[in-house]
């Protein structure tokens, strides 16, 4: 990656700073000695931050934006599988779209130079290939017309569209990042469940799965944020970002098992049978993600900014699994200590 020039008089505002991505971004910028300000929903003991409460279309960001030159907006209502809210789009839209545009308008008015928005590759849809008819594989790229398939993806797209309008009217530079699934130490949700499943040694029915899924290691995503914050050619651009290669679910399980130092047991089951079974168990959406393809072309950020992921897929999985092993040992040790003092 080309050497980025930092102006150490700049001040970076980070929303969602207590989250999975935000915590790591703060640590990264701290190591680089770049000035930044954390924004959190509520005050955090021992950490200097500005608390703004629940964000929405009327949030007052003025105190948080004082002296700020760059914004990285990470705060969001994240995707929830099987969301049973009566009106999920309304809530996603309030947090992910309207709150974002409120922040962007106030940022532009306060003189912010660049606004980096963490969107999602899900604005392109759910799959690049049919699970049951994988004869016409495709790939997502920035030139495709977005086609979100759920309330989360739609809310992020609405935010993107509003940001481009604010950019045109104000001159504030906007950069949009669209990552796929993000994994790394402290990961939660399905990636953590998959590690636990592989660690259990339970036989997995992925012998016939030949999908292609793009993901991004947390360290690679943080690096890409740093790049688009300061690179002059990033202004006004939208980038899909990933580890740079697609992998199958079976390949991912093998990599996890290798770093866990456990045998991987797999057997073959037709995809249609797995989908039917998952539907009966109420796990259809989980099965679709394990079996389907979600393949991104992230070449544009490489060509435009000379950015390359600093970590390989293997290094990312190893770091994630090593964290999981440490946390598991720590939890087991705490449980043993707790049990030893019980009457």
Neighbours of 333 (CB within 10 A): 10
CB 131 within 8 A of CB 288: yes
Spatial neighbors of 276 by CB under 8 A, at least 6 apart, are: none
* Of 36, 69, 38, 39, residue with least CA distance to 54: 39
Which alpha helices (DSSP H) does 171-270 contain, by range? 189-200, 218-230, 249-260
| Residues known to be catalytic | 152
Q: How far apart are CA 138 and CA 147, in angstroms?
A: 14
Tokens of 274: 């797995």
CB 215 within 8 A of CB 184: no
CA 61 to chain centre: 24
């Amino acid at each position: 990656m080309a050497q980025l020039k930092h102006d150490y008089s700049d001040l970076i505002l980070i929303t969602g700073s207590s989250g999975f991505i935000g915590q790591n971004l703060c640590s990264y910028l701290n190591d680089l000695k770049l000035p930044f300000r954390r924004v959190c929903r509520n005050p955090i003991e021992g950490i200097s931050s500005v608390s703004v409460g629940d964000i929405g279309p009327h949030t007052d960001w003025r105190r948080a934006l004082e002296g700020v030159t760059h914004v990285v907006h990470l705060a969001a209502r994240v995707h929830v599988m099987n969301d049973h809210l009566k009106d999920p789009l309304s809530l996603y839209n309030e947090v992910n779209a309207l709150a974002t545009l409120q922040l962007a308008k106030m940022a532009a008015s306060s003189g912010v130079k660049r606004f980096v928005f963490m969107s999602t590759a899900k604005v392109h849809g759910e799959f690049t290939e049919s699970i049951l008819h994988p004869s016409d594989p495709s790939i997502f790229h920035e030139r495709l017309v977005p086609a979100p398939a759920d309330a989360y993806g739609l809310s992020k797209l609405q935010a993107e569209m509003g940001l481009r309008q604010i950019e045109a009217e104000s001159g504030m530079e906007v950069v949009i990042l669209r990552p796929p699934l993000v994994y790394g130490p402290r990961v939660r949700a399905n990636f953590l469940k998959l590690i636990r499943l592989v660690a259990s040694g339970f036989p997995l029915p992925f012998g016939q799965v030949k999908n292609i899924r793009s993901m991004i290691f947390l360290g690679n995503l943080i690096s890409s944020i740093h790049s688009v914050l300061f690179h002059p050619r990033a202004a006004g651009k939208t980038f899909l970002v990933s580890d740079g290669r697609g992998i199958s679910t079976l390949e991912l399980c093998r990599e996890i098992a290798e770093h866990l130092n456990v045998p991987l047991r797999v057997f073959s089951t037709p995809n249609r049978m797995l989908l039917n079974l998952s539907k009966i168990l109420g796990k259809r959406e989980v099965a679709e993600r394990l079996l389907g393809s979600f393949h991104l072309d992230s070449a544009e950020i490489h060509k435009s900014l000379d950015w390359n992921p600093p970590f390989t897929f293997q290094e990312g999985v190893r770091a994630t699994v090593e964290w999981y092993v440490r946390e598991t040992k720590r939890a087991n040790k705490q449980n043993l200590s707790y049990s030893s003092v019980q009457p």
